[in-house]
Structure 1
């Protein structure tokens, strides 16, 4: 094709048709410019397609993270509600009947000491922020994702602070009791039970248990409120993303 155009130019020059040659040259330049513009348009279209596909992939990952957080929150709220209800039943028992110290101890020692950890799936939003791809997400969704991550970080920090307070008191419990399973194991070991004489520490055990469960109760009550708030926000963000995917 290049040789063909070159032959045409040479023929015009040899025939001394300069004006025609000039028009031809201009036309050739125009064709080259048009070709370049078309190539740029195709390249821009390809880049837009790549970005669109990348954004769609991010949307899918965000939905996976958000749905996982919804599932986690739902399970956490169920477990928290069970404990909070049991704790309320324990505290209300004080108003129903007169209990002796052993009965108090038996009641409070039945409550679960463990507090489940609080975690969220923030891998995708963190990846978007670190790579700069956060700009691919529309501002109405982007800002809410950032606010959600901020709330999750704050919730984890608050949870860890209260859990640290509970852990400090729990250390005192282990010094007084050894382990929560020890009293049960000592039932068939009268000599060891007499030697350890755990009942002598009953007053301190009740106070320590009270401290632990008060910390746990307040922590879970606050966390429960935050998770309920998060669930509403997550469902709203999921709805926005799904609308974008349907376009």
Structure 2
């Protein structure tokens, strides 16, 4: 093609057709410019298409992560419900029963349980590495950022506060009164034992009743934050579904 253009220009100059040569040269320049613009447009379209495909891939991975997170946080909420139930049960049992029983052993063991939520962040990690701006929906992009950077981090702080309380207050007192046994048949693989003599001491220890109330208080605070995580996770999954369905 270039050789053809060169021959045409050469012939025009040889024949002395200067005016036609300049017109032709200008036309050739215009064609080259148009070709460059078309190439740039195609390149831009290809880049946009690649970015859009990457955006869809990231959103799908985040949605998959969030579904796992939802299952885990709901499981933790169920565990925390069991812990609160155990606090009430142990407190009432100590006030109304003269001797320990298997049910006391089971529920007392629940007082030491501290569920831990570990969110799945592979999709969000990929998003951060590629630039969060790749999410074209402004509202969705903000929701994702708030969910991972604020909601999850804030929930982790609640869990850490409960762990500090447990290590400082709950664990020492529970181990002081009970013997901890591993029991595979129980839901949380633990069972506490206490002798009749030690039970009478525990029964008359008002500070232990206060401890069960404090455990419930700490646990309820974490549970309330977990419910917020659950609600927001459901909403973010729905937002991702809507965005993916629009593609």
Q: Same fold (TM over 0.5)?
A: yes
TM-score (norm 2): 0.80
Equivalence for 1:216: 215
Deviations 1:106-151 (A, max 9, x none): 837742122121222234324433x352111222012112222212
Name the structure 2 match of 1:48. Answer: 48
CA shift for structure 1 position 48: 0.4
Cross-structure match for 1:57 = 57
Aligned counterpart, 1:32:
32
Query: In the alignment, is residue 180 of structure 1 matched against residue 180 of structure 2?
Result: yes
Stretch moving more, 73-82 or 30-39 = 73-82
Distance verdict in 2 for CA 1:209–1:124, change over 3 Å: farther
Aligned to 1:114: 113
Q: Deviations over 1:141-196 (max 9, x none)?
A: 121122222122111111111211111235534763584239x9999xxxxx9xxx
TM-score, normalised to structure 1's length? 0.80
Change (3 A) 1:85 1:204: closer
Distance 1:237 1:175 in 2: 42
| Higher relative helix content | 1
Q: Is the 8 A contact 1:13 1:21 kept in 2?
A: yes
Q: Tell me if the contact between 1:70 and 1:234 (Cα under 8 Å) persists in the aligned partners.
A: yes
Partner of 2:160: 160
Give the aligned CA root-mean-square deviation in angstroms: 3.4
Which runs of 5 or more structure 2 residues have no equivalent in the other structure? 183-190
Equivalent pair of 2:91/2:212 in contact (CA under 8 Å): no
SS in 1 for 2:117: coil
Q: Is the 8 A contact 2:105 2:193 kept in 1?
A: no
Contact 2:91/2:209 (8 A) holds in 1: no
Select between 67-76 and 34-43 the one with higher mean Cα deviation: 67-76
Structure 1 distance, partners of 2:179, 2:204, is: 12
Tell me how far 1:72 sits from its aligned partner: 0.7
Question: Is the contact made by 1:59 and 1:241 (CA closer than 8 Å) also made in structure 2?
Answer: yes
Tell me if structure 1 keeps the 8 A contact 2:100–2:199: no
The count of aligned residue pairs is 234
Describe the SS at the equivalent of 1:85.
helix
Contact 1:69 1:121 in 2 (8 A): yes
Q: 3-state SS of the aligned residue for 1:168?
A: helix
- Counterpart in 2 of 1:190? none
* Aligned match of 1:125: 124
Equivalent residue for 1:243? 242
Q: 3-state SS of the aligned residue for 2:84? A: helix
User: Residue deviations 1:50-78, cap 9 Å, x none?
Assistant: 00001001101110111111111121112
SS at match of 1:119: coil
Q: Deviations over 1:63-101 (max 9, x none)?
A: 011111111112111222122223223334467x3x44x
Structure 1 stretches lacking a partner, 5+ long: 188-192
